[in-house]
Amino acid sequence: MMTIKKAIHALVLSAALLAVPALAAAQPPATEGFVPVEDLHGQEEMPAAPLVAAAYGVAWAAVLIYLFSIWRRLGTVEREMAEVSRRIDARSRH
């Protein structure tokens, strides 16, 4: 019973994976002749500068967060190493 379920699931998954490229390849019908850009309606224009600034901002924020996390972990390791060194010194004195 379980193998039949697995086979059905595999067939459904295979059919879905095969259908996705076919759906993605479907293109809308071509327009007749040349259409100037000025005649196209309903398209929005967005300047690239805000998008580039936002991308750089996100990238720098990610770098700074990463560096901050490394700095904190390094501090933790240094404290642990100081504690281990202190314990070793205390043991070697006894």
In angstroms, rounded to a whole number, what is the distance separating the alpha carbons of residues 78 and 70? 12
- Residue 69 belongs to some domain of the structure: yes
- Which has the higher per-residue pLDDT, 15 or 84? 84
Range of the domain at 89: 47-94
- Residue 4 belongs to some domain of the structure: no
Count of structural domains within the chain = 1
- Residue 24 belongs to some domain of the structure: no
Q: What is the DSSP string of 9-69?
A: HHHHHHHHHHHHHHHHH--PPPPSS---GGG--S-----HHHHHHHHHHHHHHHHHHHHHH
- Residue 81 belongs to some domain of the structure: yes
- Residue 6 belongs to some domain of the structure: no
- Residue 9 belongs to some domain of the structure: no
Angle CA(32)–CA(37)–CA(38) in degrees, nearest 5? 115
In angstroms, rounded to a whole number, what is the distance separating the alpha carbons of residues 58 and 36? 36
Residues 30-82 pLDDT 10s: 667 776 777 666 666 778 888 999 999 999 999 999 999 999 999 999 999 99
- Residue 57 belongs to some domain of the structure: yes
What is the pTM for the complete model shown? 0.47
- Residue 26 belongs to some domain of the structure: no
